[in-house]
Structure 1
Amino acid sequence: MKTNEQLQKDVQDAIKWEPLLKAAEIGVIVKDGIVTLTGTVDNYAKKLQVEKAAKSVLGVKAIAEDIEVKFADSKKKDDAEIAEDVVFALSVDLIVPDKKIQVKVENGWVTLEGEVHWNFQREAAKRAIEHITGVRGVFNHLKIKSELNDAIEQKEIEAALHRSWAVNDKDIRVHVEGRTVRLTGTVASLYQKEEAGRIAWKTPGIWHVENNLEVDYEYALID
């Protein structure tokens, strides 16, 4: 059980613990498990690292992120240059089916559209461009359209969740409807919720995951 003040300190400490973020000036506001992050960083990868550090803290239910990426004048690029770098990064990543992906860049924000066969390919596409200078953020609108026609087995997903050391599956319920998997119930942390979603996305033949898990954590009433 934590107070808002204790959770705030834990999140601040988690951010400071990351070597990449030691010099970052990040504001942390906490209200009943909802963490608001503010401040500026000098590249998009650091912004993602701040979010990841905050999500790893026990007691965090949700993240409201308002971190701005600001580049030094020497690192600024126009959208055409960024687009060229993005296309090249996707083309050299062996996991990414770059021929199926369309790229749009506007004011440093990259939009990825198209279809891939697996969620790991969608995630790999985003990772491939996170460290590109000039990128302020990524809208990953890639859709999953599996080539497999295998029926999705609910029991196999439940077994995969049960095997994971990172997820307590006791209060997780799995529902399968066609190509969609829906997760409901409760978990103890935001990290567990996202990890359960990642596990579900590995299901052969899947097109959609609806992650409706709720983070159930008891907070102290006195700050």
Structure 2
Amino acid sequence: MTETIFMDEDIQREVLDELLWDPAVEASEIGVTVDAGVVTLTGTVETYSMSSAAEAAAHRVRGVKAVANNIQVTPPSDRTRTDTDIAKAAANALEWNARVPHQQIKTTVRDGWVTLEGHVRWHYQKVAAYKSVRDLMGVRGVSDLITVAAPSASAEEIKSKIEDSLTRSALLDVERIQVDVRDGKVILKGSVDSWVERDKAEKTAWAAPGVTDVENQIAVSS
């Protein structure tokens, strides 16, 4: 199969179009440069959720190998919150999210930057905790240091379940992805055609019982 070549100027144009398409992004405030398939985002936005949405939009574009998010978050004066306000809001958001075992998570806020620590049994709980605080008013960034302490399972069992799930996926070509498991850590290798496929493979690996970490080495073809 002939490999598709994506030119940097084409990727830049499509990333800009994707930013304009996404209603969660203030595209006029964001700059885009591309070098060898690596996208760099610059500019200033009002919320961390806008920065995250812009990053996700760039990852959706074909040919993008990686994204460097250098967007600055500067809340307007009427949306600025003290660290105490943000900490209280974060604690409430985590407690009210049914997917989050909030008793196991410690939250620290400094200069608008939220740090999450603790441990959960499943990766989806880690993601839910991150999303709970990401969109809070006044948040400038989030460091998610939560670890996953999943129930133990054999490497063979984990590998088999992941490969079965990859095979079921209509989005992925399982023949191009290799799965290795060592002490609960999954290592993914191979190549895919888009960042969306790469992300799908990683999410699939995280869903397997017994997985404590995922190292995604899958390359995005260009």
Question: 2:63 aligns to what SS in structure 1?
Answer: coil
Is structure 2 residue 192 aligned with structure 1 residue 187? Answer: yes
Counterpart of 2:119?
115
Give the residue type in structure 2 aligned to 1:216.
Answer: S
User: What CA distance in whole angstroms lies between the structure 2 residues aligned with 1:94 and 1:4?
Assistant: 43
- What TM-score does the superposition give when structure 1 sets the normalisation length? 0.93
72-81 or 19-28: which moved more?
A: 19-28
User: What CA distance in whole angstroms lies between the structure 1 residues aligned with 2:187 and 2:58?
Assistant: 25
Q: Match for 1:149 among 141, 147, 152?
A: 152
Q: Match for 1:173 among 154, 178, 193?
A: 178
CA shift for structure 1 position 22: 4.6
Correspondences of 1:1-223 after superposition (within 5 Å)? 1-22=5-26, 24-146=28-150, 148-152=151-155, 153=157, 154-217=159-222
CA shift for structure 1 position 23: 5.3
Question: 1:197 aligns to what SS in structure 2?
Answer: helix
Counterpart contact for 1:24–1:40, Cα < 8 Å:
no
User: What CA distance in whole angstroms lies between the structure 2 residues aligned with 1:40 and 1:149?
Assistant: 44
User: What CA distance in whole angstroms lies between the structure 1 residues aligned with 2:35 and 2:75?
Assistant: 31
RMSD after superposition? 1.2
Counterpart contact for 1:119–1:202, Cα < 8 Å:
yes
Question: 1:20 aligns to what SS in structure 2?
Answer: coil
Amino-acid identity (%): 38
Give the residue type in structure 2 aligned to 1:194.
Answer: D
Structure 1's unaligned 5+ residue stretches are 218-223
29-38 or 152-161: which moved more?
A: 152-161
User: What CA distance in whole angstroms lies between the structure 2 residues aligned with 1:44 and 1:164?
Assistant: 32
Give the residue type in structure 1 aligned to 2:77.
Answer: D
Give the residue type in structure 2 aligned to 1:49.
Answer: A
User: What CA distance in whole angstroms lies between the structure 1 residues aligned with 2:72 and 2:45?
Assistant: 6
Counterpart contact for 2:26–2:50, Cα < 8 Å:
no
Counterpart contact for 1:36–1:65, Cα < 8 Å:
yes
Counterpart contact for 1:83–1:104, Cα < 8 Å:
yes
Counterpart contact for 1:24–1:41, Cα < 8 Å:
no
Which runs of 4 or more aligned residues in structure 1 lie more than 6 Å from their structure 2 counterparts after TM superposition?
none
Question: 1:160 aligns to what SS in structure 2?
Answer: helix
CA shift for structure 1 position 76: 0.6
Question: 1:21 aligns to what SS in structure 2?
Answer: coil
CA shift for structure 1 position 120: 0.1
